[in-house]
Structure 1
Amino acid sequence: MASWASACRSALSGQEWLCRRRPYLTRLITDPRGLYTVFSKMGPRRRVAEEDSATDVVSATFTLWREQIRSLKDLVPAKAQQGKTLFHCSTVVVAFAFAFAWVCHVRARGHGSDRITHFIFIADCWGRLRPSVPAEYCGNRVRPCFAGVKSEDLIRCDGFVVASAAIGRVIEELEADVLNDAEEWRGRAQAAMAEQALTVAGSPRFRVYDTDMGWRRPNKVEVTSIRTSGAILVGESREDEGGVEIGLVPPKE
């Protein structure tokens, strides 16, 4: 998107622009276990059927302000230490509002039971790949991450700390080997989605409000696929630098 916007703003023709800022399109990621073959045999994802389209839904966007995020980030280590559960609370965990959105989702649906509730998000592997790939590489360099805890643990008063710890542990595990369980990704995703897992679209790091096609920055950015996928959109705030927008399209009920 950034390259496309830059080309639109440029006085150069598209061909001239690409010659000056050519992205890396060759497959560069080392694949010693033959994962490309494994993934190619999985077949295409199921297409969303017409009858699956949500019609009686409500679209809403909420802002988690920078000061609120800071308060949440300060809360987690203190609560975790009281419970003798220490973990690294990275900016990714809280600033992306994953844990906060997950807890709100479970509480709103009233899933207070001992069944496992699942949360699936995408992690950027660019800084974790060995050998590294250049920043201009345009291939897919993300992977799914899976977190799961009991629903009843999330609706407790310290549910946010529980969710943050679960997500934080998953992120820390990536440091060892980002492809260590790649053969299991599809199976784990299917199993989690069968139990109404919450998934995330977007990322504050995409900086969508910086995307200027020559008409100045956009007033509002939405991801229309969440209308049928049931995912939530997490992106940077258009009003508060350092804040986060959370978009969702739940059933009206």
Structure 2
Amino acid sequence: MGGNVAESNEDFDHLYSEVRYASESHPYLAPLSVSDTKASILCFQITLFPNKGFAISYTLNHAVLDGRSISLFMNSWAYICRNLEENVKISPSSLPEELNPSFDRTVIPGSEGLEMRYLDYWLGLKLPGSDANPRSLEPIPFPVPADVVRATFEFSREDIKKLGEREFSRFENGNQTKPFSTFVLAYAYTLVCMVKAKGLKNNTKVKFGLTTDCRPRLNPPLSRNYIGNCVTSCDVLVEAEQLLKETGVGYAAKRLNEMIEGFENGVLEIAKEKVPFMDVEPGVRIILVAGTNRFGKYGADFGWGKPANVEITTIDVGESLSMMESRDESGGVEIGLVLKKHEMEMFASLFVHGLKVLRSSL
């Protein structure tokens, strides 16, 4: 694990302004040390903005750590700092139960050759821009486009409640027997707004999916505080026409529910079926979500209150969105988005107008 300390005279408040260029966050990102043969696990950078505040960034190696792990680490670190007293040491065993990490790998069930299947696939994979050496640990470069902007949108707790009631009521004959989760509703609504804002045609193929935590889905289940990379993913390919209809949000929510329910059949079995898992037809638009509303990103209070802003910069390339809990309202959801400026303007109009109609109609 590495770390840097830096100082900046840039406008601190601008870092969480409503709309700004995505590239403006990158000078404050922690540089992860990676070579052909060696890769760091985690790196931090703390940037001081004199008389204003500071920014903490981290870059992690996703082969070793997942989102739940780093969120647990950040909240534990913040807890220790918040409760720090002179000559008082806080060990992992003295952390609250919800922050006490687990490193026990002996409880993980056998993967029945899954490791070799994935390694063989990666060794044979050739991606544009990748090194000719398939064993190189160097990441594939994905430069951030200069013309994309970042913005944050919020669902209130009441928005989620009314959205769930509307979409649930649209399913006739009991086709949807269980209410949609907050995660599913926020993702489905944002996905539909993105497809419309990008002006996709009816016959455009769209692949959307999610990453899920495998800890509770293994047999036996792992501790939810297990530190490592313990996730799998699933996706579905549809035509944009299904998302552009009036029933698009409900359709997307139902497909997401089906994916989540499919994980109950065994995450290791699904993982076997997903090799190869990066084959995509030309012209397919891939929209994924990073994060969830359950990680407690705004729980990292180091003693000065909640962070003013949290963002996930991996969405700066590709077509993805980020999700986390709302900073100021329990049950609310915060969506991070990076789009071209004209797309962002269209998305903002669709997002705000759709919620305004929803609030007035129920």
TM-score (norm 1): 0.86
* Separation in structure 1 between the aligned mates of residue 166 and residue 316 of structure 2, nearest angstrom: 33
**Offset of residue 224 of structure 1:** 1.8
Map of 2:91 onto structure 1: 17
**Offset of residue 174 of structure 1:** 1.2
- Identity, % of aligned positions: 31
Instruction: Give the secondary structure class of the aligned counterpart of 2:234.
Output: strand
Map of 1:86 onto structure 2: 176
For the 8 Å contact 1:87–1:169, the answer to whether it is kept is no
Map of 1:35 onto structure 2: 114
Counterpart residue identity of residue 213, structure 2: D
For the 8 Å contact 1:118–1:192, the answer to whether it is kept is no
Counterpart residue identity of residue 240, structure 1: E
Structure 1 stretches lacking a partner, 5+ long: none
Instruction: Give the secondary structure class of the aligned counterpart of 1:199.
Output: strand
Instruction: Give the secondary structure class of the aligned counterpart of 1:217.
Output: coil
* Separation in structure 2 between the aligned mates of residue 16 and residue 194 of structure 1, nearest angstrom: 53
Does residue 166 in structure 1 map to residue 259 in structure 2?
no
For the 8 Å contact 1:208–1:221, the answer to whether it is kept is yes
When the two structures are aligned, how many residues end up with a matched partner? 250
Does residue 67 in structure 1 map to residue 140 in structure 2?
no
Instruction: Give the secondary structure class of the aligned counterpart of 1:179.
Output: helix
For the 8 Å contact 1:200–1:231, the answer to whether it is kept is yes
Does residue 57 in structure 1 map to residue 148 in structure 2?
yes
**Offset of residue 204 of structure 1:** 0.9
Instruction: Give the secondary structure class of the aligned counterpart of 2:330.
Output: coil
For the 8 Å contact 1:201–1:232, the answer to whether it is kept is yes
Map of 1:116 onto structure 2: 205
Instruction: Give the secondary structure class of the aligned counterpart of 1:239.
Output: coil
Counterpart residue identity of residue 78, structure 1: S
* Separation in structure 1 between the aligned mates of residue 88 and residue 119 of structure 2, nearest angstrom: 32
Counterpart residue identity of residue 25, structure 1: F
Counterpart residue identity of residue 180, structure 2: S
The 1:119/1:103 distance shift into structure 2, 3 A limit, reads: same
**Offset of residue 207 of structure 1:** 1.1
Structure 2 stretches lacking a partner, 5+ long: 1-73, 131-138, 343-362
* Separation in structure 1 between the aligned mates of residue 204 and residue 285 of structure 2, nearest angstrom: 12
Does residue 232 in structure 1 map to residue 321 in structure 2?
yes
Counterpart residue identity of residue 114, structure 2: L
For the 8 Å contact 2:148–2:339, the answer to whether it is kept is yes
**Offset of residue 112 of structure 1:** 2.7
Does residue 207 in structure 1 map to residue 296 in structure 2?
yes
Question: Which is richer in strand?
Answer: 2
**Offset of residue 20 of structure 1:** 4.3
The 1:14/1:90 distance shift into structure 2, 3 A limit, reads: farther
Q: Deviations over 1:83-112 (max 9, x none)?
A: x633533315535x1111111111111223
RMSD: 2.7
Structure 1 residues 130-139 or 98-107, which shifts more?
130-139
For the 8 Å contact 1:93–1:164, the answer to whether it is kept is no
Map of 2:35 onto structure 1: none
Map of 2:221 onto structure 1: 132
For the 8 Å contact 1:7–1:14, the answer to whether it is kept is no
Instruction: Give the secondary structure class of the aligned counterpart of 2:335.
Output: strand
For the 8 Å contact 2:209–2:256, the answer to whether it is kept is no
For the 8 Å contact 2:149–2:341, the answer to whether it is kept is yes
Counterpart residue identity of residue 125, structure 1: C
TM-score (norm 2): 0.62
Map of 1:182 onto structure 2: 271
Map of 1:5 onto structure 2: 78
